[in-house]
Amino acid sequence: MKIYDYPAFPNPARVRIALHEKGVFDQIEFVTIDVPAGEHKSARFAARNPSTAVPVLELECGTFISECTAITEYIDNAFDGPRLTGTTAKEKATIHMMQRRSEQMVMDAVGSYFHHATSGLGPDIESYQNAEWGRHQQNIAKKGFEYFNEVLKDRRYVATGDFSMADITLYCGLGFADFVKVDVPASLEHLHQWRSQVAERESVKAAAAG
Protein backbone atom coordinates (compact mmCIF):
# COMPACT_ATOMS: atom_id res chain seq x y z
CA MET A 1 0.00 0.00 0.00
CA LYS A 2 1.01 3.59 -0.65
CA ILE A 3 -0.02 6.84 0.97
CA TYR A 4 0.38 10.07 -0.94
CA ASP A 5 0.77 12.94 1.50
CA TYR A 6 2.78 15.92 2.67
CA PRO A 7 4.07 14.99 6.13
CA ALA A 8 4.08 18.44 7.74
CA PHE A 9 0.35 18.99 7.19
CA PRO A 10 -2.47 18.28 9.69
CA ASN A 11 -4.59 15.84 7.66
CA PRO A 12 -1.64 13.59 6.78
CA ALA A 13 -0.75 13.65 10.48
CA ARG A 14 -4.15 12.17 11.30
CA VAL A 15 -3.51 9.11 9.15
CA ARG A 16 0.07 8.74 10.37
CA ILE A 17 -1.08 8.70 14.00
CA ALA A 18 -3.66 6.04 13.14
CA LEU A 19 -1.00 3.90 11.46
CA HIS A 20 1.26 4.17 14.50
CA GLU A 21 -1.65 3.28 16.80
CA LYS A 22 -2.18 0.10 14.77
CA GLY A 23 1.55 -0.64 14.68
CA VAL A 24 1.73 -0.80 10.88
CA PHE A 25 3.42 2.47 9.94
CA ASP A 26 6.47 0.62 8.59
CA GLN A 27 4.29 -1.45 6.27
CA ILE A 28 3.26 1.59 4.23
CA GLU A 29 5.15 3.25 1.39
CA PHE A 30 4.87 7.03 1.58
CA VAL A 31 4.97 9.21 -1.51
CA THR A 32 5.45 12.93 -0.88
CA ILE A 33 3.19 15.28 -2.81
CA ASP A 34 4.68 18.76 -2.82
CA VAL A 35 1.57 20.68 -1.79
CA PRO A 36 3.28 24.08 -1.32
CA ALA A 37 4.51 23.79 -4.92
CA GLY A 38 1.00 22.91 -6.15
CA GLU A 39 1.68 19.29 -7.11
CA HIS A 40 -1.69 18.27 -5.64
CA LYS A 41 -3.38 20.41 -8.29
CA SER A 42 -1.87 18.45 -11.17
CA ALA A 43 -4.05 16.37 -13.49
CA ARG A 44 -2.17 13.25 -12.45
CA PHE A 45 -2.99 13.73 -8.78
CA ALA A 46 -6.56 14.84 -9.50
CA ALA A 47 -7.09 11.46 -11.17
CA ARG A 48 -6.37 9.89 -7.80
CA ASN A 49 -8.50 12.33 -5.82
CA PRO A 50 -10.81 14.82 -7.59
CA SER A 51 -10.82 17.09 -4.54
CA THR A 52 -7.02 17.44 -4.98
CA ALA A 53 -6.29 17.02 -1.29
CA VAL A 54 -3.86 14.84 0.62
CA PRO A 55 -3.68 12.20 1.96
CA VAL A 56 -4.70 9.49 -0.48
CA LEU A 57 -4.33 5.75 0.13
CA GLU A 58 -3.55 3.48 -2.84
CA LEU A 59 -4.33 -0.21 -2.33
CA GLU A 60 -2.42 -3.01 -4.02
CA CYS A 61 -5.41 -3.60 -6.32
CA GLY A 62 -5.13 -0.04 -7.62
CA THR A 63 -8.06 1.41 -5.68
CA PHE A 64 -7.58 4.96 -4.39
CA ILE A 65 -9.18 5.99 -1.10
CA SER A 66 -9.25 9.64 -0.08
CA GLU A 67 -10.66 11.45 2.99
CA CYS A 68 -9.01 10.86 6.36
CA THR A 69 -12.09 9.24 7.86
CA ALA A 70 -12.34 6.69 5.05
CA ILE A 71 -8.61 5.96 5.14
CA THR A 72 -8.72 5.48 8.91
CA GLU A 73 -11.74 3.19 8.55
CA TYR A 74 -9.79 1.05 6.10
CA ILE A 75 -6.70 0.94 8.32
CA ASP A 76 -8.77 0.11 11.39
CA ASN A 77 -10.52 -2.79 9.68
CA ALA A 78 -7.56 -4.10 7.69
CA PHE A 79 -5.12 -4.45 10.59
CA ASP A 80 -5.15 -5.83 14.12
CA GLY A 81 -4.58 -3.58 17.10
CA PRO A 82 -6.61 -1.12 19.16
CA ARG A 83 -9.89 -0.10 17.59
CA LEU A 84 -10.04 3.52 16.49
CA THR A 85 -13.55 3.49 15.04
CA GLY A 86 -15.36 1.43 17.69
CA THR A 87 -16.60 -2.12 17.98
CA THR A 88 -20.27 -1.94 19.02
CA ALA A 89 -22.98 -0.13 17.08
CA LYS A 90 -23.16 2.54 19.79
CA GLU A 91 -19.39 3.05 19.84
CA LYS A 92 -19.17 3.32 16.07
CA ALA A 93 -22.00 5.84 15.89
CA THR A 94 -20.67 7.93 18.79
CA ILE A 95 -17.13 8.01 17.41
CA HIS A 96 -18.32 9.04 13.96
CA MET A 97 -20.51 11.76 15.45
CA MET A 98 -17.68 13.22 17.53
CA GLN A 99 -15.20 12.77 14.69
CA ARG A 100 -17.44 14.87 12.45
CA ARG A 101 -17.82 17.52 15.13
CA SER A 102 -14.04 17.59 15.54
CA GLU A 103 -13.75 18.21 11.80
CA GLN A 104 -16.51 20.77 11.41
CA MET A 105 -15.98 22.71 14.62
CA VAL A 106 -12.17 22.72 14.71
CA MET A 107 -10.16 21.16 11.86
CA ASP A 108 -12.22 22.43 8.92
CA ALA A 109 -12.99 25.76 10.57
CA VAL A 110 -9.30 26.44 11.18
CA GLY A 111 -8.55 25.33 7.62
CA SER A 112 -11.10 27.74 6.17
CA TYR A 113 -9.62 30.57 8.22
CA PHE A 114 -6.13 29.67 6.97
CA HIS A 115 -7.11 29.44 3.30
CA HIS A 116 -9.42 32.46 3.22
CA ALA A 117 -8.33 35.00 5.85
CA THR A 118 -4.55 34.59 5.67
CA SER A 119 -2.11 34.29 2.79
CA GLY A 120 -2.61 30.53 3.07
CA LEU A 121 -0.44 28.59 0.64
CA GLY A 122 0.21 31.66 -1.49
CA PRO A 123 -1.46 33.32 -4.49
CA ASP A 124 -0.51 30.59 -6.95
CA ILE A 125 -2.56 28.04 -5.00
CA GLU A 126 -5.20 30.12 -3.23
CA SER A 127 -7.12 30.97 -6.40
CA TYR A 128 -10.20 32.12 -4.48
CA GLN A 129 -10.38 33.74 -1.06
CA ASN A 130 -13.22 35.21 0.98
CA ALA A 131 -11.73 36.91 4.03
CA GLU A 132 -15.10 37.50 5.67
CA TRP A 133 -15.90 33.79 5.44
CA GLY A 134 -12.48 32.96 6.84
CA ARG A 135 -12.96 35.22 9.85
CA HIS A 136 -16.40 33.70 10.43
CA GLN A 137 -14.83 30.24 10.46
CA GLN A 138 -12.22 31.46 12.94
CA ASN A 139 -15.09 32.27 15.30
CA ILE A 140 -16.57 28.82 14.67
CA ALA A 141 -13.24 27.30 15.72
CA LYS A 142 -13.14 29.35 18.91
CA LYS A 143 -16.63 28.15 19.79
CA GLY A 144 -15.46 24.63 18.99
CA PHE A 145 -12.67 24.94 21.53
CA GLU A 146 -15.23 25.90 24.16
CA TYR A 147 -17.51 23.03 23.18
CA PHE A 148 -14.80 20.40 23.48
CA ASN A 149 -13.59 21.86 26.74
CA GLU A 150 -17.07 21.14 28.14
CA VAL A 151 -17.14 17.67 26.57
CA LEU A 152 -13.82 16.80 28.20
CA LYS A 153 -14.81 18.09 31.61
CA ASP A 154 -16.02 14.68 32.73
CA ARG A 155 -14.43 12.21 30.32
CA ARG A 156 -10.95 11.01 29.39
CA TYR A 157 -11.45 10.94 25.62
CA VAL A 158 -13.66 12.75 23.14
CA ALA A 159 -16.10 10.01 22.13
CA THR A 160 -15.87 6.86 24.27
CA GLY A 161 -13.73 5.51 27.09
CA ASP A 162 -10.96 4.71 24.61
CA PHE A 163 -8.72 6.77 22.34
CA SER A 164 -10.33 6.99 18.91
CA MET A 165 -10.28 8.65 15.52
CA ALA A 166 -12.26 11.54 17.02
CA ASP A 167 -9.38 12.28 19.39
CA ILE A 168 -6.89 12.15 16.52
CA THR A 169 -8.88 14.68 14.50
CA LEU A 170 -9.31 17.10 17.40
CA TYR A 171 -5.65 16.85 18.39
CA CYS A 172 -4.43 17.58 14.85
CA GLY A 173 -6.98 20.37 14.52
CA LEU A 174 -5.55 22.06 17.61
CA GLY A 175 -2.07 21.71 16.15
CA PHE A 176 -3.32 23.39 12.99
CA ALA A 177 -4.77 26.19 15.13
CA ASP A 178 -1.34 26.72 16.71
CA PHE A 179 0.22 26.98 13.27
CA VAL A 180 -2.21 29.64 12.04
CA LYS A 181 -2.19 31.45 15.40
CA VAL A 182 -5.78 30.82 16.45
CA ASP A 183 -5.18 30.75 20.18
CA VAL A 184 -6.81 28.26 22.53
CA PRO A 185 -7.55 30.26 25.70
CA ALA A 186 -5.68 29.12 28.81
CA SER A 187 -9.00 29.13 30.65
CA LEU A 188 -10.09 26.01 28.72
CA GLU A 189 -8.27 23.82 31.22
CA HIS A 190 -10.01 20.54 30.37
CA LEU A 191 -9.11 20.84 26.71
CA HIS A 192 -5.49 21.67 27.56
CA GLN A 193 -5.27 18.76 30.00
CA TRP A 194 -6.64 16.35 27.41
CA ARG A 195 -4.22 17.69 24.81
CA SER A 196 -1.23 17.21 27.09
CA GLN A 197 -2.36 13.66 27.79
CA VAL A 198 -2.73 12.81 24.09
CA ALA A 199 0.66 14.38 23.29
CA GLU A 200 2.30 11.72 25.46
CA ARG A 201 0.97 8.83 23.38
CA GLU A 202 3.73 6.98 21.53
CA SER A 203 1.78 7.17 18.27
CA VAL A 204 1.57 10.94 18.48
CA LYS A 205 5.24 11.31 19.33
CA ALA A 206 6.22 8.99 16.47
CA ALA A 207 4.05 10.84 13.95
CA ALA A 208 5.52 14.18 15.03
CA ALA A 209 9.02 12.79 14.54
CA GLY A 210 8.17 11.89 10.95
Q: Is 83 part of a structural domain of the chain?
A: no
What's the pLDDT at 116? 98
Instruction: State yes or no: pLDDT of 163 exceeds 80.
Output: yes
Q: Is 195 part of a structural domain of the chain?
A: yes
Do 106 and 188 lie in one domain? The reply is: yes
How far apart CA 55 and CA 32 sit, in angstroms, is 10
Alpha-helical segments (H) within the chain: 10-22, 43-48, 68-78, 89-102, 108-117, 131-151, 165-179, 189-199, 202-208
- Looking at 21, 49, 78, the residue that finishes a domain is 78
How far apart CA 154 and CA 62 sit, in angstroms, is 44
**pLDDT-derived band at 138, boundaries 50, 70, 90:** very high
Q: Is 207 part of a structural domain of the chain?
A: no
Domain total of the chain: 2
Instruction: State yes or no: pLDDT of 9 exceeds 90.
Output: yes
Q: Is 147 part of a structural domain of the chain?
A: yes
Q: What is the pLDDT of residues 164-174, one digit of tens each?
A: 999 999 999 99
Q: What is the pLDDT of residues 45-59, one digit of tens each?
A: 999 999 999 999 999
Contact of 102 with 109, CB cutoff 8 Å: no
Do 131 and 177 lie in one domain? The reply is: yes
Q: Check which CATH number belongs to the domain holding 105 and give it.
A: 1.20.1050.10
Query: Any residues with CB less than 8 A from the CB of 153 and at least 6 apart, and which?
Result: 190
Q: Is 84 part of a structural domain of the chain?
A: no
Mean pLDDT for the stretch of residues 27-40: 97
Q: What is the pLDDT of residues 95-112, one digit of tens each?
A: 999 999 999 999 999 999
How far apart CA 69 and CA 59 sit, in angstroms, is 16
Contact of 15 with 68, CB cutoff 8 Å: yes
Q: Is 26 part of a structural domain of the chain?
A: yes
What's the pLDDT at 8? 86
Do 74 and 95 lie in one domain? The reply is: no
The whole-chain average pLDDT of the chain stands at 97
Q: Is 125 part of a structural domain of the chain?
A: yes
What's the pLDDT at 106? 98
* DSSP β-bridge partners for residue 58: 2, 64
CA angle 61–67–71, rounded 5-degree value = 50
- C-alpha dist (Å) from residue 55 to 32, 114, 199: 10, 18, 22
Instruction: State yes or no: pLDDT of 210 exceeds 80.
Output: no
Do 71 and 120 lie in one domain? The reply is: no
Do 130 and 172 lie in one domain? The reply is: yes
Q: Check which CATH number belongs to the domain holding 52 and give it.
A: 3.40.30.10
What's the pLDDT at 35? 96
What's the pLDDT at 102? 98
Do 44 and 99 lie in one domain? The reply is: no
Q: What is the pLDDT of residues 69-103, one digit of tens each?
A: 999 999 999 999 999 999 999 999 999 999 999 99
pLDDT above 70: percentage of residues in the chain: 100
How far apart CA 35 and CA 1 sit, in angstroms, is 21
pLDDT above 90: percentage of residues in the chain: 99
Instruction: State yes or no: pLDDT of 132 exceeds 80.
Output: yes
Do 119 and 147 lie in one domain? The reply is: yes
End-to-end CA distance of the chain: 18
Q: Is 53 part of a structural domain of the chain?
A: yes
Range of the domain at 24: 2-78
Do 61 and 126 lie in one domain? The reply is: no
Q: Nearest to residue 71, comparing CAs of 170, 176, 1?
A: 1
Do 119 and 168 lie in one domain? The reply is: yes
DSSP 42: S
